[in-house]
Amino acid sequence: MASTGDTQLFDESFTITTLDHAKYDRVGRFGATSADSQTVMTLDVNTELYPLQVGDAIHCVLASSLSLDGTKDDGKGWRDVGRNVDGAEPTLADMFDYVCHGKIYKFEDGEDGQTIKAYISFGGLLMALEGPYKKLTPLRVDYVYLLLKK
């Protein structure tokens, strides 16, 4: 049986460093740096649902499944494995404040040859992660869940 560690592809704490609200009313583009300063994230967030400010600390997880026992979500639509409602089995989403499902659509090698950049789309809200190969290589899958909490 798999464990949640097997499905968690990326797990990092970040501090919000920039905010751009210029393009859309309810969406902000945030820039953030990891606690160890090795990974940089740019993320579009629906600020009406999940308000963030410069200086906020957030915990970010990218996972291939929301199941706590690590089983794949195959056979279920992503909407069917969301938050625990009406006695449904608890999921990883229950532990986070903001959850999205998206597709990893592009990888680029960093300019220094030691880093990689991953691009993910969550229904048009975009994420870019740039960091060491070792941290981001597990993201070589098609679909992921983004989970955030303060």
pLDDT for 36-81, tens place per residue?
999 999 999 999 999 999 999 999 999 999 988 877 765 455 455 4
The model's pTM: 0.87
Distance CA 124, CA 115 (A): 25
DSSP state of 117: E
Does 3 map to a domain? no
Domain that holds residue 55: 8-149
Domain count across the chain: 1
Residue 33 lies in a domain: yes
- At 10-24, the pLDDT tens digits run 999 999 999 998 888
Q: What CATH number is associated with residue 88?
A: 2.40.50.140
Q: Is residue 88 part of a domain?
A: yes
Residue 1 lies in a domain: no
Please report which confidence band the pLDDT of residue 143 belongs to, taking 50, 70 and 90 as the band edges. very high
Strand duo 27-34 + 40-46: pairing: antiparallel
**Domain-located, residue 2:** no
Residue 111 has what pLDDT? 79
